[in-house]
């Protein structure tokens, strides 16, 4: 039997290599999709209740992409009972998961307010998702930012992928 002696420096390098080899298998402390059960469907920010609706669809209109467009998501955030949606609340990230696949993206546009008649709602749009089948059920998670810093998550469950023809 041969004994290998490691100096302090060689031992440190070996230890670092073992740690970095193990890291890809480590689970991060929080994942919006893996920890879906811990994310609420409603959040309260500074006394304002925020709810979310997710509309998922693909475009099959004539003249469009052959086989239909990639998935699009329209997210509607509502400040329940408020006259306006809070100016200090926004969103920067979306996750959509259908049990086997996850689409993570940023938002392409934001309409604030959604309409003059609905100043308590904003609409966020994301494009370029996967080409999931029409009827696929998916859960959506949005990361809300408060004052551009503090993050909260909100979810909408069992959204069905629809189509525009």
Could you tell me which of 129, 47, 40 has the C-alpha nearest to residue 86? 47
Report how far residue 108's alpha carbon sits from residue 97's, in angstroms, rounded to the nearest whole number. 19
Topology of domain 35-164, CATH: Immunoglobulin-like (2.60.40)
Q: How far apart are CA 85 and CA 116, in angstroms?
A: 12
Give whole-number Cα distances, 7 to 1, 13, 22, 68, in Å. Answer: 20, 10, 23, 62
pTM equals 0.80
**Distance separating alpha carbons of residues 21 and 77, to the nearest angstrom:** 41
Q: pLDDT in tens for each of the 165 residues of the chain?
A: 444 454 555 445 544 444 444 444 454 556 888 889 999 999 999 999 999 999 999 999 998 888 899 999 999 999 999 999 999 999 999 999 998 899 999 999 999 999 999 999 999 999 999 999 999 999 999 999 999 888 999 999 999 999 999
Nearest to 71 by CA among 161, 10, 150: 161
Locate the domains of the chain by residue range. 35-164
DSSP-H helix ranges across 23-116:
none
């Amino acid at each position: 039997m041969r004994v290998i002696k490691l100096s302090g420096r060689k031992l440190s390098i070996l230890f670092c290599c073992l740690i970095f080899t193990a890291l890809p298998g480590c689970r991060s402390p929080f994942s919006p999709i893996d920890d879906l059960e811990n994310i609420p469907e409603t959040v309260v920010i500074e006394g304002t209740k925020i709810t979310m609706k997710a509309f998922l669809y693909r475009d099959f209109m004539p003249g469009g992409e052959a086989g239909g467009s990639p998935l699009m998501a329209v997210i509607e955030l509502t400040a329940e009972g408020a006259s306006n949606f809070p100016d200090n609340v926004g969103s920067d990230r979306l996750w959509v998961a259908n049990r086997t696949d996850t689409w993570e993206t940023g938002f392409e546009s934001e309409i604030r307010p959604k309409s003059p008649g609905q100043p308590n709602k904003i609409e966020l749009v994301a494009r370029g998702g996967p080409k999931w089948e029409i009827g696929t059920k998916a859960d959506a998670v949005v990361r809300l930012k408060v004052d551009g810093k503090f993050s909260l998550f909100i979810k909408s469950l069992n959204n069905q992928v629809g189509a525009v023809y």
